[in-house]
Amino acid sequence: MMRKIIPYNPDLVPLAKKLRNNMTLGEIALWREINNKKLGVRFSRQIPIDNFIVDFYCKDLQLAIEVDGSIHFNEGKQEKDIIRQSRLESLGVYIIRFSDLDVKNDLRWVLEEIKKIIWNIKPTPNSSKEGKN
């Protein structure tokens, strides 16, 4: 299956690099658990998609993981997040969000949720061949 290429704004690349070097504690903790295909799929950090930058992205599944710090609860920010999420979803990106506090306080639960999503999205091998030798 061909992977869908989603365009991005190249002007965001320097900011994405800066964000990679200034991750929050929650992002760092989650990255340690999902990098190097630890969940069976490859994630990248701070990836530009369209005119946005997502915290973590799996190109193969078009899955974005967002870790929302306290700034996301500020006035007006949630409305912007909704618009941003709608735009990304219209491009075929599936988004899962966690609060920074959830990641810091209950990382095991966050990882289980991510695993469930991966399992639900991931294409399964041709099942008609199973059980036949």
Domain contains 42 = yes
Q: What's the confidence (pLDDT) of residue 126?
A: 55
pLDDT of residue 77: 72
Residue 1 has a pLDDT of 57
Query: Is 18 contained in some domain?
Result: no
Query: Does 129 fall in a domain?
Result: no
Q: Is residue 115 part of a domain?
A: yes
Quick check: helix, strand or coil at residue 130?
Answer: coil
* Domain assignment of residue 77, yes or no: yes
Domain with 42, as residue range(s), is 25-122
> From residue 67, how far is each of 4, 11, 45, 53, 63 by CA, in Å?
24, 23, 12, 12, 13
For residue 87, the domain's CATH number is 3.40.960.10
Q: In order along the chain (133 residues), what is the average pLDDT of each group of 10 residues?
A: 81 95 93 97 96 96 91 70 92 94 96 97 62 44
**Could you tell me which residues are beta bridge partners of residue 52?**
49
Q: Is residue 95 included in any domain, yes or no? A: yes
Does 58 map to a domain? yes
Single pTM value for the model: 0.86
The pair of structure tokens assigned to 112 is: 């289980």
For residue 8, is it within any domain? no
Q: How many domains does the chain have?
A: 1
pLDDT attached to residue 109: 98
The 10s digit of each residue's pLDDT in 45-71 is: 999 999 999 999 999 999 999 998 766
Residue 97 is predicted with a pLDDT of 94
Strand 63-68 to 52-58 pairing: antiparallel
